[in-house]
Amino acid sequence: MREIHNIVILTGAGISAESGLAIFRGPEGLWEGHRVEDVATPEAFARDPVLVQRFYDARRENLKRVEPNAAHAALARLDEAWPGGLLIVTQNVDDLHERAGAKRLLHMHGELNSAWCRACDMRMAWSGAMGGDPACPGCGVAGRLRPDIVWFGEMPYEMERIDAALMEADLFVSMGTSGNVYPAAGFVQTARYCSARTLEINLEPSIGSYLFDESRTGRAGELVPAWVEEVLK
Protein backbone atom coordinates (compact mmCIF):
# COMPACT_ATOMS: atom_id res chain seq x y z
CA MET A 1 0.00 0.00 0.00
CA ARG A 2 1.20 3.55 -0.79
CA GLU A 3 2.95 5.24 2.13
CA ILE A 4 0.88 8.05 3.63
CA HIS A 5 2.45 11.49 3.69
CA ASN A 6 -0.25 13.91 2.55
CA ILE A 7 -3.76 13.76 3.98
CA VAL A 8 -6.83 15.73 2.88
CA ILE A 9 -9.90 15.65 5.10
CA LEU A 10 -13.34 16.87 4.04
CA THR A 11 -15.82 17.57 6.81
CA GLY A 12 -19.55 18.30 6.71
CA ALA A 13 -22.44 19.03 9.03
CA GLY A 14 -22.31 15.55 10.60
CA ILE A 15 -19.04 16.41 12.33
CA SER A 16 -20.79 19.19 14.28
CA ALA A 17 -24.03 17.27 14.93
CA GLU A 18 -22.88 15.98 18.32
CA SER A 19 -22.12 19.56 19.34
CA GLY A 20 -25.83 20.27 18.89
CA LEU A 21 -25.82 21.94 15.47
CA ALA A 22 -28.54 20.80 13.08
CA ILE A 23 -27.48 19.02 9.89
CA PHE A 24 -28.93 20.30 6.61
CA ARG A 25 -30.75 17.29 5.31
CA GLY A 26 -32.70 16.01 8.26
CA PRO A 27 -35.54 13.50 8.15
CA GLU A 28 -38.00 16.09 6.78
CA GLY A 29 -35.51 17.69 4.43
CA LEU A 30 -35.70 20.91 6.41
CA TRP A 31 -32.92 22.95 7.96
CA GLU A 32 -34.16 24.53 11.19
CA GLY A 33 -37.66 24.60 9.67
CA HIS A 34 -36.61 26.11 6.32
CA ARG A 35 -35.95 24.63 2.92
CA VAL A 36 -32.23 25.07 2.24
CA GLU A 37 -33.11 26.85 -1.03
CA ASP A 38 -35.15 29.50 0.83
CA VAL A 39 -32.25 30.66 2.99
CA ALA A 40 -29.14 29.63 1.07
CA THR A 41 -29.37 31.20 -2.38
CA PRO A 42 -28.56 34.70 -3.65
CA GLU A 43 -32.11 34.81 -5.05
CA ALA A 44 -33.58 34.15 -1.59
CA PHE A 45 -31.47 36.99 -0.18
CA ALA A 46 -32.57 39.37 -2.94
CA ARG A 47 -36.23 38.37 -2.39
CA ASP A 48 -36.32 38.49 1.39
CA PRO A 49 -33.12 39.84 2.98
CA VAL A 50 -34.82 40.27 6.37
CA LEU A 51 -35.70 36.57 6.59
CA VAL A 52 -32.24 35.47 5.42
CA GLN A 53 -30.39 37.83 7.80
CA ARG A 54 -32.64 36.75 10.68
CA PHE A 55 -31.91 33.12 9.88
CA TYR A 56 -28.12 33.56 9.88
CA ASP A 57 -28.21 35.92 12.87
CA ALA A 58 -29.91 33.11 14.82
CA ARG A 59 -27.33 30.55 13.61
CA ARG A 60 -24.49 32.95 14.56
CA GLU A 61 -26.01 33.50 18.02
CA ASN A 62 -26.51 29.76 18.49
CA LEU A 63 -22.85 29.14 17.70
CA LYS A 64 -21.94 30.95 20.92
CA ARG A 65 -23.83 28.29 22.90
CA VAL A 66 -22.14 25.18 21.46
CA GLU A 67 -18.71 23.64 21.92
CA PRO A 68 -16.42 21.52 19.74
CA ASN A 69 -16.88 17.79 20.26
CA ALA A 70 -14.51 14.81 20.35
CA ALA A 71 -14.30 14.66 16.53
CA HIS A 72 -13.14 18.29 16.26
CA ALA A 73 -10.66 17.71 19.09
CA ALA A 74 -9.24 14.59 17.41
CA LEU A 75 -8.73 16.41 14.10
CA ALA A 76 -6.98 19.28 15.91
CA ARG A 77 -4.70 16.74 17.56
CA LEU A 78 -3.94 15.18 14.17
CA ASP A 79 -3.21 18.63 12.74
CA GLU A 80 -0.74 19.32 15.53
CA ALA A 81 0.95 15.92 15.48
CA TRP A 82 0.99 14.95 11.80
CA PRO A 83 4.45 15.61 10.33
CA GLY A 84 3.35 15.37 6.69
CA GLY A 85 0.99 17.46 4.61
CA LEU A 86 -2.51 17.95 5.94
CA LEU A 87 -5.47 20.03 4.85
CA ILE A 88 -8.86 20.02 6.56
CA VAL A 89 -11.44 21.32 4.11
CA THR A 90 -14.71 22.02 5.84
CA GLN A 91 -18.07 22.68 4.25
CA ASN A 92 -19.23 23.92 7.63
CA VAL A 93 -19.71 27.59 8.34
CA ASP A 94 -19.34 27.13 12.12
CA ASP A 95 -16.02 27.80 13.85
CA LEU A 96 -15.78 24.56 15.85
CA HIS A 97 -12.69 23.21 14.05
CA GLU A 98 -10.66 26.32 14.86
CA ARG A 99 -12.03 26.53 18.40
CA ALA A 100 -10.77 22.97 18.91
CA GLY A 101 -7.35 24.14 17.71
CA ALA A 102 -7.17 23.11 14.02
CA LYS A 103 -4.84 25.34 11.99
CA ARG A 104 -4.45 23.71 8.57
CA LEU A 105 -8.09 24.40 7.79
CA LEU A 106 -10.09 26.15 5.12
CA HIS A 107 -13.79 27.00 4.94
CA MET A 108 -14.87 26.28 1.38
CA HIS A 109 -18.47 27.45 2.03
CA GLY A 110 -17.54 30.58 4.02
CA GLU A 111 -18.02 31.38 7.68
CA LEU A 112 -20.90 32.48 9.89
CA ASN A 113 -18.56 34.82 11.76
CA SER A 114 -17.62 36.76 8.67
CA ALA A 115 -19.40 39.57 6.82
CA TRP A 116 -18.99 40.56 3.19
CA CYS A 117 -19.69 44.15 2.17
CA ARG A 118 -21.15 44.29 -1.31
CA ALA A 119 -20.38 48.04 -1.47
CA CYS A 120 -16.60 47.88 -0.93
CA ASP A 121 -16.06 44.10 -1.37
CA MET A 122 -14.30 43.85 2.01
CA ARG A 123 -14.69 40.74 4.17
CA MET A 124 -14.45 41.17 7.93
CA ALA A 125 -14.87 39.27 11.20
CA TRP A 126 -18.48 39.63 12.41
CA SER A 127 -19.89 38.09 15.56
CA GLY A 128 -23.08 40.11 16.18
CA ALA A 129 -26.31 40.56 14.24
CA MET A 130 -26.23 41.58 10.59
CA GLY A 131 -29.95 42.27 10.33
CA GLY A 132 -31.05 45.88 10.86
CA ASP A 133 -28.71 47.17 8.14
CA PRO A 134 -25.57 48.03 10.11
CA ALA A 135 -22.89 50.12 8.38
CA CYS A 136 -19.76 48.51 6.99
CA PRO A 137 -16.82 49.38 9.30
CA GLY A 138 -14.63 49.65 6.19
CA CYS A 139 -16.53 51.98 3.84
CA GLY A 140 -19.33 53.23 6.12
CA VAL A 141 -22.13 52.26 3.71
CA ALA A 142 -25.19 50.86 5.51
CA GLY A 143 -27.36 47.96 4.38
CA ARG A 144 -24.89 46.27 2.04
CA LEU A 145 -23.49 43.57 4.33
CA ARG A 146 -24.32 39.94 3.66
CA PRO A 147 -23.26 36.75 5.41
CA ASP A 148 -19.91 35.65 3.98
CA ILE A 149 -21.37 32.28 3.08
CA VAL A 150 -21.24 30.50 -0.25
CA TRP A 151 -24.83 29.99 -1.34
CA PHE A 152 -26.18 27.64 -3.99
CA GLY A 153 -25.12 28.86 -7.41
CA GLU A 154 -21.99 30.58 -6.05
CA MET A 155 -18.38 29.44 -6.36
CA PRO A 156 -16.86 27.80 -3.26
CA TYR A 157 -13.71 29.38 -1.87
CA GLU A 158 -10.14 28.27 -2.47
CA MET A 159 -10.87 25.61 -5.09
CA GLU A 160 -7.40 25.90 -6.60
CA ARG A 161 -5.77 25.20 -3.26
CA ILE A 162 -8.14 22.29 -2.62
CA ASP A 163 -7.52 20.75 -6.04
CA ALA A 164 -3.75 21.07 -5.58
CA ALA A 165 -3.97 19.33 -2.19
CA LEU A 166 -6.19 16.56 -3.62
CA MET A 167 -3.72 15.92 -6.41
CA GLU A 168 -0.93 15.48 -3.86
CA ALA A 169 -2.98 13.44 -1.40
CA ASP A 170 -2.05 9.89 -0.41
CA LEU A 171 -5.15 9.61 1.76
CA PHE A 172 -8.52 11.36 1.41
CA VAL A 173 -11.04 11.08 4.23
CA SER A 174 -14.61 12.38 4.05
CA MET A 175 -16.47 12.81 7.34
CA GLY A 176 -20.03 13.73 8.24
CA THR A 177 -21.22 14.74 4.81
CA SER A 178 -24.13 13.33 2.81
CA GLY A 179 -22.46 13.80 -0.58
CA ASN A 180 -25.31 15.88 -2.00
CA VAL A 181 -23.42 19.08 -2.79
CA TYR A 182 -20.81 19.56 -5.49
CA PRO A 183 -17.95 20.26 -5.92
CA ALA A 184 -17.23 18.78 -2.45
CA ALA A 185 -19.05 15.55 -3.29
CA GLY A 186 -16.66 15.06 -6.22
CA PHE A 187 -13.43 15.35 -4.21
CA VAL A 188 -13.36 11.58 -3.72
CA GLN A 189 -13.20 11.10 -7.48
CA THR A 190 -10.32 13.57 -7.90
CA ALA A 191 -8.44 11.90 -5.05
CA ARG A 192 -8.98 8.43 -6.49
CA TYR A 193 -7.93 9.56 -9.93
CA CYS A 194 -4.68 10.79 -8.37
CA SER A 195 -4.20 7.39 -6.67
CA ALA A 196 -5.06 8.38 -3.09
CA ARG A 197 -6.59 5.86 -0.74
CA THR A 198 -10.11 6.96 0.24
CA LEU A 199 -12.09 6.53 3.44
CA GLU A 200 -15.53 7.69 4.44
CA ILE A 201 -16.75 8.13 8.03
CA ASN A 202 -20.45 8.92 8.33
CA LEU A 203 -23.51 7.97 10.33
CA GLU A 204 -24.89 6.23 7.26
CA PRO A 205 -23.42 5.51 3.82
CA SER A 206 -23.36 8.74 1.79
CA ILE A 207 -24.67 8.97 -1.77
CA GLY A 208 -21.18 8.35 -3.16
CA SER A 209 -20.23 5.73 -0.61
CA TYR A 210 -19.44 3.17 -3.33
CA LEU A 211 -16.61 5.42 -4.56
CA PHE A 212 -14.58 4.99 -1.35
CA ASP A 213 -12.08 2.23 -0.68
CA GLU A 214 -13.50 1.96 2.81
CA SER A 215 -16.66 3.20 4.50
CA ARG A 216 -17.11 3.27 8.28
CA THR A 217 -20.57 4.01 9.62
CA GLY A 218 -21.24 5.44 13.06
CA ARG A 219 -20.97 8.61 15.10
CA ALA A 220 -18.14 10.99 14.27
CA GLY A 221 -17.50 11.58 17.98
CA GLU A 222 -16.46 7.93 18.31
CA LEU A 223 -15.10 6.96 14.90
CA VAL A 224 -12.96 10.05 14.21
CA PRO A 225 -10.90 9.84 17.43
CA ALA A 226 -10.41 6.10 16.80
CA TRP A 227 -9.24 6.76 13.24
CA VAL A 228 -6.85 9.53 14.39
CA GLU A 229 -5.32 7.10 16.90
CA GLU A 230 -4.75 4.62 14.06
CA VAL A 231 -3.09 7.21 11.86
CA LEU A 232 -0.80 8.52 14.60
CA LYS A 233 0.20 5.05 15.85
Catalytic positions, please?
A: 109
Q: How many residues bind ligand OAD (CB under 6 A)?
A: 25
Rounded to 5 degrees, what angle do the CA atoms 94, 98, 21 make? 30
Find the part of the chain contacting ligand OAD (CB under 6 A) among 23-31, 126-134, 158-166, 192-200. Answer: 23-31
Find the part of the chain contacting ligand OAD (CB under 6 A) among 12-20, 47-55, 77-85, 121-129. Answer: 12-20
Residue 190 touching ligand OAD (CB under 6 A): no
> Which of residues 4, 135, 203, 231 is near ligand OAD by CB under 6 A?
203
**Residue 18: CA atoms inside 13 Å, Cβ hemisphere, count?**
17
Please give the backbone phi and psi of residue 54, each rounded to the nearest 5 degrees, phi first: -60, -40
DSSP string covering 27-93, please?
A: TTS-BTTB-HHHHSSHHHHHH-HHHHHHHHHHHHHHHTT----HHHHHHHHHHHH--S-EEEEE---
Find the part of the chain contacting ligand OAD (CB under 6 A) among 10-18, 77-85, 160-168, 188-196. Answer: 10-18
Q: Which of 93, 87, 90, 89 is nearest to 150 (CA)?
A: 93
Residue 106 touching ligand OAD (CB under 6 A): no
DSSP 8-state code for residue 179: S
- In single-letter form, the type of residue at position 37 comes to E
Distance CA 175, CA 164 (A): 20
Three-state DSSP at 19 gives coil
> Which of residues 212, 220, 227, 228 is near ligand OAD by CB under 6 A?
220
> Which of residues 174, 178, 198, 215 is near ligand OAD by CB under 6 A?
178
Residue 177 touching ligand OAD (CB under 6 A): yes
Three-state DSSP at 110 gives strand
Q: How far is the CB of 197 from ligand OAD (least distance, A)?
A: 20
Q: How far is the CB of 54 from ligand OAD (least distance, A)?
A: 17
> Which of residues 7, 9, 10, 13 is near ligand OAD by CB under 6 A?
13
Chain residues in the site for ligand OAD (CB under 6 A)? 12-14, 17-18, 23-25, 36, 40, 91, 109, 150-151, 176-178, 180-181, 202-204, 206, 219-220
